[in-house]
Amino acid sequence: MRKLLMTSAALTLLTSVGAQASDLPGQGQTVKPIQSTITEETFQTLLVSRALGKLGYQVSAPEEVDYNVGYTSIAKGMRPSWP
């Protein structure tokens, strides 16, 4: 449940920033995905990153953060602080 909530929140945040009417909504936008420190969740992050790339986003390498950092940052509308 936590993975689903985190992924949904991250996708909503990433896709709502700079959304506009165009052929590729992410054209010219760069995103930096975050993922938990649980290794098994890397596959899910890579799938979402590939999908964002197909929407025109420039996708940076994912960063690992603890759940509490990710949730707090998304709730405050901020980017997480990387270690």
Reported pTM: 0.59
| Burial status of residue 60 (CB atoms within 10 A of its CB: 0-12, 13-18, 19 or more) | exposed
Is the predicted pLDDT of residue 78 greater than 80, yes or no? no
Q: Each residue of 1-12: pLDDT tens digit?
A: 667 666 666 666
Q: How far apart are CA 71 and CA 79, in angstroms?
A: 10
Banded model confidence at residue 20, pLDDT cuts 50, 70, 90? very low
Listed as own residue / partner, the contacts of 71-74 with beta carbons closer than 8 Å and 24 or more positions apart are: 71/6, 71/9, 74/9, 74/10, 74/13
Q: Each residue of 28-64: pLDDT tens digit?
A: 899 888 888 888 888 999 999 999 999 999 999 988 8
